[in-house]
């Protein structure tokens, strides 16, 4: 895994940051994009560089196809390649579907689903040329159940789309030595939700405890490894049994 380059969306904090730090420990070069908090991005870059790895941080709205393509090109120009694309960015909002606005409806697809397509299109030509690549997408633990979600409708549909896109890309890219897989977290203590809200959900988790960013790191590390070269198009539930 040495001397490989990972592009991580949403890599300034939470799960994306944890994966970036873990890969830096393994000798990877890291490129991350963020939308709002330059302080988080600067702190993450310093933490990665303190581990002896190179790191590029770019403020970028990957919901814009031109910006996503430009970011991928910048990473390839800076480091010469992209070996792994890890799509961690995935904002959400809770609102009843009857009160949902058209703008917010579109934003859920623009931020959760479309960037995976844009960035995959941008980075896979190099992966195909090198006959090696890894793409890891993040969905949500019960997306494959396709149940009614009146307070998370657009976000939920977008995450179902992530699973379909993952499988489609896996089939298209498998002949080129590229794997595309999904990780579907349940309740993970990643800093993105109030701790009180997460702790109130523990009783709904069969395992009886919250997941951690370390759990996400372990799943992603496996999918990025050579040991997972025959794992393609799968969806790993990271939920302690919730959402089944």
Specify the 3-state DSSP secondary structure of 112. Answer: helix
Whether the per-residue pLDDT at 134 is higher than 70: the answer is: yes
User: To the nearest whole percent, how much of the chain has pLDDT over 90?
Assistant: 88
List pLDDT tens digits, range 143-177. Answer: 999 999 999 999 999 999 999 999 999 999 999 99
Contacts of 194 (CB under 8 A, 6+ apart): none
Q: Are 116 and 162 in contact (CB under 8 A)?
A: yes
User: To the nearest whole percent, how much of the chain has pLDDT over 70?
Assistant: 99
What mean pLDDT is predicted for residues 88-109? 94
List pLDDT tens digits, range 1-30. Answer: 458 999 999 999 999 999 999 999 999 999
Question: Is residue 38 packed enough to be buried (19+ CB in 10 Å), middle (13-18) or exposed (0-12)?
Answer: exposed
> pTM for the complete prediction?
0.95
- For residue 53, the model assigns a pLDDT of 96
Q: Are 19 and 88 in contact (CB under 8 A)?
A: yes
List the beta bridge partners of residue 85: 7, 135
CATH architecture of 5-238: 3-Layer(aba) Sandwich (3.40)
Q: Are 202 and 193 in contact (CB under 8 A)?
A: no
- For residue 191, the model assigns a pLDDT of 76
Q: What is the mean pLDDT of the chain?
A: 95
Look up residue 181 and give its two tokens: 């897989």
- For residue 1, the model assigns a pLDDT of 44
What mean pLDDT is predicted for residues 58-66? 96
Domain definitions of the chain by residue range? 5-238
User: Whole-angstrom Cα distance, residue 168 to residue 191?
Assistant: 31
Active site residues per annotation: 156
């Amino acid at each position: 895994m040495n001397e490989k380059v990972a592009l991580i969306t949403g890599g300034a904090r939470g799960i994306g940051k944890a994966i970036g730090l873990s890969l830096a420990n393994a000798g990877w070069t890291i490129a991350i994009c963020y939308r709002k908090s330059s302080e988080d991005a600067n702190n993450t870059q310093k933490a990665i560089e303190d581990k002896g790895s190179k790191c590029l941080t770019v403020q970028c709205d990957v919901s814009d196809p031109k910006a996503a393509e430009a970011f991928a090109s910048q990473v390839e120009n800076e480091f010469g390649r992209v070996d792994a694309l890890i799509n961690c960015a995935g904002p959400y909002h809770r609102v009843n579907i009857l009160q949902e606005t058209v703008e917010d409806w579109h934003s859920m697809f623009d931020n959760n689903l479309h960037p995976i397509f844009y960035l995959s299109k941008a980075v896979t030509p190099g992966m195909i040329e090198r006959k090696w690549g890894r793409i890891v997408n993040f969905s949500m633990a019960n997306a494959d159940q396709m149940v009614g979600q009146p307070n998370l409708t657009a976000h939920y549909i977008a995450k179902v789309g992530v699973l379909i896109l993952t499988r489609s890309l896996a089939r298209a890219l498998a002949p080129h030595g590229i794997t595309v897989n999904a990780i579907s977290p349940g309740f993970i203590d990643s800093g993105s939700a109030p701790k009180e809200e997460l702790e109130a959900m523990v009783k709904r988790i069969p395992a009886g405890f919250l997941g951690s960013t370390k759990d996400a790191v372990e799943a992603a590390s496996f999918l990025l490894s050579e040991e997972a070269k025959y794992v393609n198009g799968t969806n790993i539930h990271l939920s302690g049994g919730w959402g089944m």
